[in-house]
Structure 1
Amino acid sequence: MTEKRIVCVTGASGYIGSWLVKRLLERGYHVRAAVRDPGNERKVKNLLELPNASAHLSLWKADLTEESSYDDAVQGCHGVFHVATPMELLYHDEPAENEDIESTTVNGILSIMRSCTKAKTVKRFIYTSSTGTVIMQRQPPLHEYTEELWSDLDFCNETKMFAWTYVVAKTTAEKAAWKYAEENGINMVTIHPSLVLGQSVTLQRSFSTDAATALYTQDEANIALLKKLHNSSAVHVDDVCNAHIYLFEHPLAKGRYICSTHIFDIFEIGRSLSHKYPDKNIPTEFEGLEESPKIIPCSSKKLIGLGFEFAHKNKDVGDLCAETIEWCRVKGLL
C-alpha cells in the first residue's frame, strides 16, 4: 500500500459520502471513512459490504463538533475529502434561539484543516461546497452563474429565502477555509454540486431522496419542498463523486468548480414520472408556479474545460428522480 492511495472521507455514511467511498474503493484507494458512530450498524453496514471494503476500508470515529477529532483519521493520508455538513440547516426557516447557524460548519471545516496541517502528509484537500454559495444574488447574472460569484449574505439575511441558513453557513465556511488554506499552504479545491439526485449506498432517507420521490409518494410536505426547488439546478450523484476524484487526481485542478448538468423543473418531472408510473396518478400541474420562466443555469464549463465528462448529462431530470424512486422501492424505503 502506497501513501498516495490512502484517503479520508468525512461524512462517509451520508448520501454523497457513501457513494464517494464506493467509487474510491472501486479505483483501488484505501479509504478511511470518518463517521460519528462506527458502531451504528444501520449507518455503516452498507459501507462495510461494498466491494473491496474488507481489505481497503476502515471506519474512524470523528465528529465535526470536536476539535482534533479527525487527527487520527487524517494522519498518513494523501488526500482528504470533506463531505460532511449539517444538512438539517436546509429545513430551518429560522435558527433556534441562541443558535449560531455557522459555528458547526465553520469550526468543523477548520478543525479538519488543522488536522491536515498536523498530518503533513495531505497533498490535496477536496471540500464539498454547494452552488448555494454562488447563486443567491440580489442582481443575478444575465446568462449563467460561474465560480467567480459568491452568494450575497446580506441579501440572504434580509430576505430569508428557502434554505438561507444553509447558504449562509456554507458560504461563511468556504470563505474561512480559503483563508486558512492560503495562510497555511493547504492545496484546496472546492466542488459545488447543485441538487444531487440518483441512487444511494446508505439506507437512510435524505433531503435528496425526499425531493426525488415527492411526486411518486405524493407526500404533501415533500411536494411543498419540491415546489421550492422548482427551476433550481440538479446533477447525478455519480457525476458528483466522479468529479471529486477527478479533481483530486488532476494536477492542474485549482480553485472552485461548479458541478451541475440539469434544471430541476417540477413540470418536466411530473410529466416524465406520469409516463413511467401511469398507475400512480402523478401530478403534472402545480398552482402558483410559472412553467416556463427565464432560467439562469449554473455553468460547469470550468470543470468540463479541465477534461471532466459527465456520464449522466443526457438523461432527463425525470430519469434521475425515477432512479432514486426505484432504488428506494428495492430497499423498502417507499
Structure 2
Amino acid sequence: MNGGGKVVCVTGASGYIASWIVKLLLLRGYTVKGTVRDPEDQKKTGHLLALDGAKERLKLFKANLLDEGSFEQAIDGCDAVIHPASPVSLTVADPQAELIKPAVMGTINILKTCTKVSTVKRVIITSSMATILFPKSPIKPNDFVDETTFSDPSVCEEEKQWYILSKTLAEDAAWQFAKANNIDLIVMNPGLVIGPILQPTLNFSVDVIVDFINGKNLFNRRYHRLVDVRDVALAHVKALETPSANGRYIIDAPIVTTNDIEKVLREFFPDLCIAEENEDIDIISMTYNVSVEKVKNLGIEFTPTETSLRDTVLSLKEKCLV
C-alpha cells in the first residue's frame, strides 16, 4: 500500500485512462478526489463507484475545464493532481471552442488552482504522442524521436490537425506556467491507447478497434502503434511515486501492421476482412524509431499488443459494444 494517507485529485475521472488511474490509486491505498461534469449522472460514475476501495476512499466533485475556480474544492488538501481530462475528437465544427480552449484553459485553470494549494507537491498531465510527432521538419521513416522532440503549432495548423494543435498548445502552456510558478510538473505522452474499458461507453481510441472489427481502417495506415491503457495508467502512478521522476515520458509501442491486428481480431470474428490502406494519405510515417527507456526506468513493462487487442475485444463483448 504505497498511498496510505495520501490524497490525489484526478480530473475527468470517468474517462478511459482516468478511470484506470483511479482504479490503480484506490488499489494502492490512496484517497482519490475525482472531478466529473455531473456527479449525479449514474451512467458516467457508476463504474467508478463500483471500484474496490471506492466506498471508503473515492469522492467525486463537479468541475468544468472552462470554469475558473471550479477545481478548487477537489484540489484542496491534495498531495498531487493528475490531469487526464481533455476533449478528444478528430471532426469538429469549431476547433477553437470544442478543442483548443478547453484543452489550454482547462490545463491552466488546474495549474492556477495548484499554485493556491500549498499541499500539492506534484502535477502530472496526460498529453499525447501528438505533441511530439509534428515538428517543424516532418518526421521521415526511420527518424528517431524522443522526449526532446516537440510538435510545431504552425505545422498542426497548416495540416488542420486541430486535436493535435489543442494538445500541443496545452502542453506548451503547461510547461511555461509550471516554469514561471515553480510547479513540479510531469507530462505523459502516450500513443494511441487501447485495452479493456472500465466505463460503459466507447471512447475515441477504442472506437478505432471497433472500426477494425467493422472492416474499416480509420487512419488508412499500414503501420500502427497501440499502447495498453493499463501501462499508461501505471506510468502515471509510478511518476507520482518516484521522487526523481521529471519532464516528459513517451509511452509508445512497437509497430504492428494492419495484418497483425486483423490476425488477432480474426480469433473473435473469423470472417473479418479489414480494408486495405492507401499509404499516400498518411500525414505521418509510423515507422519512426522511438526511445521508451525513460518510462521503462519508472518500472513499466509493456503489455504485448496482441494481449491488449484481445483484452480490448473481450471487454467490448462483455459490455455489449460489439
For residue 112 of structure 2, the aligned residue among 104, 111, 114 is 114
Read off the aligned partner of 2:245 and give its amino acid letter.
A
Aligned to 2:145: 145
* 1:251-301 Cα distance to aligned partner (Å, 9 max, x none): 111111101123252221012222x1353x1115514248xx881133212
CA drift at 1:214: 2.0
Aligned to 1:91: 91
CA change 1:68–1:269 in 2 (3 A) is same
Contact residue 132 and residue 151 of structure 2 kept, 8 A: yes
Matched, 1:186 2:183: yes
Which secondary structure does the structure 2 equivalent of 1:227 belong to? coil
Aligned to 1:321: 309
CA drift at 1:152: 1.9
Read off the aligned partner of 1:33 and give its amino acid letter.
G
Distance 1:264 1:154 in 2: 30
Which secondary structure does the structure 1 equivalent of 2:255 belong to? strand
Distance 1:294 1:10 in 2: 30
Which secondary structure does the structure 1 equivalent of 2:289 belong to? coil
Contact residue 191 and residue 225 of structure 2 kept, 8 A: yes
Read off the aligned partner of 2:293 and give its amino acid letter.
K
Q: How much is the aligned-residue C-alpha RMSD, in angstroms?
A: 2.1
User: Which consecutive residues of structure 2, in runs of 5 or more, have no partner in the other structure?
Assistant: none
CA change 1:308–1:117 in 2 (3 A) is same
Whose helix proportion is higher, 1 or 2? 1
* 1:153-193 Cα distance to aligned partner (Å, 9 max, x none): 22222223xxx111111111111111111111110000100
Contact residue 37 and residue 61 of structure 1 kept, 8 A: yes
Q: How many residues align?
A: 314
Distance 1:80 1:155 in 2: 31
Read off the aligned partner of 1:225 and give its amino acid letter.
L
Read off the aligned partner of 2:233 and give its amino acid letter.
C
Which secondary structure does the structure 1 equivalent of 2:65 belong to? coil
CA change 1:294–1:197 in 2 (3 A) is closer
Distance 1:3 1:119 in 2: 20
Give the TM-score normalised by structure 2. Answer: 0.91
* 1:68-97 Cα distance to aligned partner (Å, 9 max, x none): 010010010001000000113x333xx528
Read off the aligned partner of 1:207 and give its amino acid letter.
F
CA change 1:329–1:80 in 2 (3 A) is same
Distance 2:286 2:101 in 1: 36
Contact residue 193 and residue 226 of structure 2 kept, 8 A: yes
Aligned to 1:195: 192
For residue 127 of structure 1, the aligned residue among 125, 128, 133 is 125
Distance 1:288 1:82 in 2: 36
Please give the residue correspondences for 1:163-182 in structure 2 after superposition, counting only pairs within 5 Å.
Answer: 164-182=161-179
Could you tell me the percent identity over the aligned residues? 34
CA change 1:278–1:109 in 2 (3 A) is closer
- Point out 4+ residue stretches in structure 1 off by more than 3 angstroms: 97-101
CA change 1:238–1:123 in 2 (3 A) is same
Distance 1:243 1:131 in 2: 15
CA drift at 1:130: 0.3
* 1:183-221 Cα distance to aligned partner (Å, 9 max, x none): 111100001000001001111111122112222234xxx
Distance 2:218 2:150 in 1: 24
Read off the aligned partner of 1:81 and give its amino acid letter.
I
Aligned to 2:278: 288
Contact residue 5 and residue 29 of structure 2 kept, 8 A: no
Distance 1:294 1:56 in 2: 41
Matched, 1:303 2:295: yes
CA drift at 1:100: 7.3
Matched, 1:208 2:209: no
* Structure 1, 12-21 or 209-218: larger mean CA deviation: 209-218
Read off the aligned partner of 1:282 and give its amino acid letter.
L
